[in-house]
Amino acid sequence: MTTRGGDQMPVITYRQALNDALRAELTRDENVFLMGEEIGIFEGSYKITAGLLDEFGPKRVRDTPIAEEGFVGAAIGAAMLGMRPVVEIMTINFSLIAIDQIVNHAAKIYGMFGGQTPVPMVIRTPGGGGQQLAATHSQNLEVWYAHIPGLKVVAPSTPADAKALLTASIRDNDPVIFLENLSLYNTKGEVPDGEQVAEIGKAAVAKEGTDITVIAYSRASMIAVEAARQLEEEGISVEVIDLRSLRPLDRPTICESVRKTSRAVVLEDDWLSYGIGAEISATLMEGAFDYLDAPVRRVAAAEVPLPYAKPLESAALPDAKDLIKVIHELLEATGFPR
């Protein structure tokens, strides 16, 4: 397991951590370049690329037409020829326009060409609800991409992980889908100075505990930590596993935690059916069944197109109260405390 900790470090936003990683990699490797809609002059819809056009010029920071299939395809070609493009798709919902390029080309070229042609590219894209952007702009489609062999899919929850995982993704020789939840951009956290390169495929223990394990990723990891801290006041010790990577998935860390606590809840922003939570549940049935005191519980979004109205949107998305309720139910069902 990897546990967070260490000395006092600078505190920056998730947005700034991404910007710092892009700047560092553009400086380090001349083959790295950025492309996407309005990332240059406008500095990106979410200002992740602020200042980079002025610093590196239009050949390294390239504005594209509103044509995701076209510019993702161009990035794949550039990657095949030795470049390392970092593509920004304004929202994961728009990646559907380019899904043929992503699934049938980026993910498959290395295998179909017998390993002769790697495709070292990153597709950065935000998703998630809570911003009143309505149903077609608020989806969590990560399970679609995590299903595809040939892709790597990461979903950092903290500024430190955002910086270290983006650095690792840019240097990786496989295509990486880099998921950013919109609600995380203004969150702050400690980020080490200097170069940090995370291991793609390694989960983190966001909080240690002994009574129950909560497995989450992206925004849901932040909710899980919040709930765990509240439950500490009741004498309940919750271990939070932040997946960080959805493909490859760190199954050993998940199972190791549940073997210790004997109880598990999976929290995700996505819909319940056929989601990441279902995969985690199956993983625990295969790797920790004999240690479970009760079936794995899941907490997820309501299975509806996300409403625009703020009260309805909030009701549809899982929060700390929803998670705490299920944790209480699971603990009660297993006779806690003993």
311-335 pLDDT, tens digit each: 999 999 999 999 999 999 999 999 9
What is the distance between the alpha carbons of residues 287 and 107, in angstroms, rounded to a whole number? 28
Question: Among residues 180, 213, 220, 205, which one has the least CA distance to residue 300?
Answer: 220
Residue type, 306: L
Q: What residue has token string 């903290």? A: 158
* pLDDT of 179 higher than 90: yes
Sheet holding 264-271, edge to edge: 2-3, 204-207, 238-242, 212-216, 264-271, 297-301
pLDDT at residue 2, as a whole number:
46
261 and 210 Cβ atoms separated by less than 8 Å: yes
- What is the rounded distance in angstroms from the CA atom of residue 35 to the CA atom of residue 55? 15
Beta partners for 271?
Answer: 301
Active-site entry in 25, 43, 88, 137? 137
Widest CA span in the chain: 64
CA dist 162 → 55, 108, 138, 192, 237 (Å): 22, 26, 21, 12, 27
Selection from 217, 201, 205, 299 nearest residue 258 by Cα: 205
- For the chain, give the percent of residues with pLDDT over 90: 96
User: Does the CA dihedral 304-310-315-318 come out positive or negative?
Assistant: positive
Q: What's the pLDDT score for residue 3? A: 47
Per-position b or e across 120-150, b if 16+ CB within 10 A of its CB: bbbbbbbbbbbeebeeebbbbbbbbbbebeb
Set out the domains of the chain in order of their start, with CATH numbers.
Answer: 10-190 (3.40.50.970), 204-333 (3.40.50.920)
N-term to C-term CA, the chain: 27
- What is the reported pLDDT for 8? 78
Catalytic residue among 25, 43, 68, 279: 68
**36 touches 64 (CB < 8 A):** yes
pLDDT tens digits along 54-99: 999 999 999 999 999 999 999 999 999 999 999 999 999 999 999 9
Express each pLDDT in 118-157 by its tens digit.
Answer: 999 999 999 999 999 999 999 999 999 999 999 999 999 9
- Claim: this prediction has a pTM higher than 0.85: yes
Question: Residue 186 has what pLDDT?
Answer: 96
Can you give the C-alpha Rg of the chain in angstroms? 20
- The closest of 213, 262, 263 to 238, measured between CA atoms, is 213
Give the pairing of strands 238-242 and 84-88: unpaired
137 included as an active-site residue: yes
Q: Is residue 68 flagged as an active site residue?
A: yes
